[in-house]
Amino acid sequence: MPRTQDRRTPIHVRSTAQRARSLGIGFLFVVLAALWFGSAAEAATVAEWNFPSGPASPVNAYTWLAGSGSESGSASLQGYIGNAIKDGEQNLNAENGQVTWLDLKGGGDDWNDPRTGSATVEIDKDGTVETTDFGNDALVYIVLDGTGLSDLTISIDALLDSDADKHVTSMDFFYRVSAISNTWYRPAALNNVGWTTTSGDQANLASFGLPAALNGEANIELVIADFAEGDGNGFLGLGPVTVNAVPEPTTALLLGLGLAGLGWMGRQQSA
């Protein structure tokens, strides 16, 4: 009787193939790790405002949506002024890519918290909670989605008053992320944040880091207020305003896991 041919793969051949597959899967995970950590250094524009003209008539508040190129399409920025008209001129406006105020002081308690509807807010300043308002007319209110984002930074260019004695020298940042608590937070690092004056009446705030508490939050609220100027009421123009962040490389992660899974399936079928 003819002998049946033994078609089983020799053990040493299978071992070599299995080692090759294991090395291939290991390589995939190395690539995955490189994609994960390599992308962490690359920040993306979450939201940017260049302020097209508006409002058309005197108002106390006006809202601009984030412009094209922004990742957070729902991001919005509201400019607020206590008195819409000062000395017969429109106080809150936008032109040449900047939102502008003619008056920075007085009437801050006219701004109502969008969540509570109250003119006063609770602010936690380094653990001390006080009930107050944000202090002056020139107020910026930003809302954006930070899902999948970390290491948020904000940069703001400014046009200051032509009178050097009225230059804005600093501002305060307040944040809130919880849908449960109505408390705003202003740690010491967000108090009296200074400008860098570039030349004459130009200034900017380059890549100011925002708190880690904002990382990954779906609903981020920021208030920028208390624009301190040297002597009396002055002019202020802000823009562009840009929020950057590092996106989590979820796409690279899923791709890498998918490739690794295919490699594992191939190994199981060949075993």
Strand segments (E) across 230-267? 236-247
pLDDT tens profile 149-174: 999 999 999 999 988 888 888 999 99
Pair 195, 203: CB distance under 8 Å: yes
Identity (one letter) of the amino acid at 99?
Answer: V
**22: Cβ–Cβ under 8 A, 6 or more apart, which residues?**
267
As to burial, measured by CB atoms within 10 angstroms (0-12 exposed, 13-18 middle, 19+ buried), residue 122 is: middle
Residue 52 and residue 130: Cα distance in Å, rounded?
A: 36
**151: Cβ–Cβ under 8 A, 6 or more apart, which residues?**
43, 209, 215, 245, 246
What single string gives the DSSP state of each residue in 73-126?
TT-EEEEE-S-SEETTEESEEEETTEEEES--SS-GGGPPPTTT--S-EEEEET
**193: Cβ–Cβ under 8 A, 6 or more apart, which residues?**
170, 171, 172, 173, 205, 208
Structure tokens that stand for 54 in this block: 């508006």
240 preceded by a cis bond (ω within 30 of 0):
yes
Topology (CATH level 3) of domain 43-247:
Jelly Rolls (2.60.120)
Q: What is the mean pLDDT of residues 44-59?
A: 93
**132: Cβ–Cβ under 8 A, 6 or more apart, which residues?**
120, 121, 123
Q: What is the mean pLDDT of residues 66-88?
A: 86
Identity (one letter) of the amino acid at 238?
Answer: L
Q: What is the pLDDT, as a whole number, of residue 157?
A: 95
Q: What is the mean pLDDT of residues 183-200?
A: 93
User: What proportion of the chain, given as a percentage, has pLDDT over 70?
Assistant: 73
Residue of 90, 92, 88, 89 lying closest to 61 (CA atoms): 92
Residue 194 and residue 206: Cα distance in Å, rounded?
A: 10
Predicted structure pTM score: 0.79
Element (H, E) at 18: helix 11-38
Q: What is the pLDDT, as a whole number, of residue 16?
A: 54
Pair 133, 123: CB distance under 8 Å: no
Q: What is the pLDDT, as a whole number, of residue 128?
A: 95
Domain spans, the chain: 12-39+251-270, 43-247
52 preceded by a cis bond (ω within 30 of 0):
no
Q: What is the pLDDT, as a whole number, of residue 179?
A: 79
Reported as a pLDDT band with limits 50, 70 and 90, residue 64 is very high
Residue 218 and residue 233: Cα distance in Å, rounded?
A: 37
